[in-house]
Structure 1
């Protein structure tokens, strides 16, 4: 088995552990991957996800996401995960920069990125920009659930505009 295949298998094992709530085992596997190959960026993404979502250690999660971006800038998953963290932390300038970059990464789902722009602008009270981006999310999907979410997000923003 070649080096990369072994690392991908270890990553898949860590993912399964995360799904099965075996966070400590997943963390150990991911740290082992990084010891074997410090340039295997996907491991930093998954470890960042653990720290952000499961351990609520946002600073460590952010550091790990940045490492993933540095090591594997073409890995689509990092853009979704890091975007959610930046949104949670209200780091709007960094989030906009990340989303702008994400739109040019092959394999990134544009509808998801536009939805993240929409959330960002809605949280800032920029409702017209939010609506525009939710509309783009809807126009860039073939998935009915994503389209329905875009429509309900637009309706929510329009309701908020009525409050002004």
Structure 2
């Protein structure tokens, strides 16, 4: 078994541990991957996710996502995860920069990225811009659920506009 295959198998094991709620085990496996190969960017993403979502350590999560971007800039998952973190902590300038950058990543789900733009603008009260991006999200998907979510987001923004 080659080096990369072993690391990918360890990453799969960590993913299963995360799904099964075994966060400490997952964290230990991810740390082990990084010790074996400090340039294996995907491990930083998954570790960042754990720190952000499961441990609520946003600074640590952000640091790990940045390391993933540095080591593996073409890994789509880090853009989704890091975008959610930046949105959660309200770092709008960094978020816009990340979303702009993500649109050039092969394999990125543009509908998901446009939805994140919509959320960003909605949270900042820029409802017309939010609606514009939710429409883009809807137009860039073949998934009925994503389309329904986009429609719901547009309706929510229109309702908010009625409050003004």
TM-score range, shorter chain: over 0.9
3-state DSSP of counterpart to 1:107: coil
Q: What is the CA distance between 1:110 and its match in structure 2?
A: 0.1
Aligned to 1:26: 26
Q: What is the CA distance between 1:96 and its match in structure 2?
A: 0.1
Q: What is the CA distance between 1:68 and its match in structure 2?
A: 0.1
Structure 2 Cα separation of the partners of residues 4 and 16 of structure 1: 18
Q: TM-score, normalising length from structure 1? A: 1.00
Task: Give the unaligned 5+ runs of structure 2.
Answer: none
Structure 2 Cα separation of the partners of residues 42 and 88 of structure 1: 22
Aligned to 2:53: 53
Q: TM-score, normalising length from structure 2? A: 1.00
3-state DSSP of counterpart to 1:25: helix
Query: Following superposition of structure 1 onto structure 2, how do residues 60-71 of structure 1 map, counting pairs within 5 Å?
Result: 60-71=60-71
3-state DSSP of counterpart to 1:108: coil
Aligned to 1:104: 104
Q: Are residue 119 (structure 1) and residue 102 (structure 2) matched?
A: no
Aligned to 1:77: 77
RMSD (CA atoms): 0.2
Structure 1 Cα separation of the partners of residues 152 and 160 of structure 2: 12
Q: How many residues align?
A: 164
Aligned to 1:161: 161
Aligned to 1:37: 37
Q: What is the CA distance between 1:147 and its match in structure 2?
A: 0.1
Deviation per residue, 1:80-132 (Å, 9 max, x gap): 00000000000000000000000110010000000000000000000000000
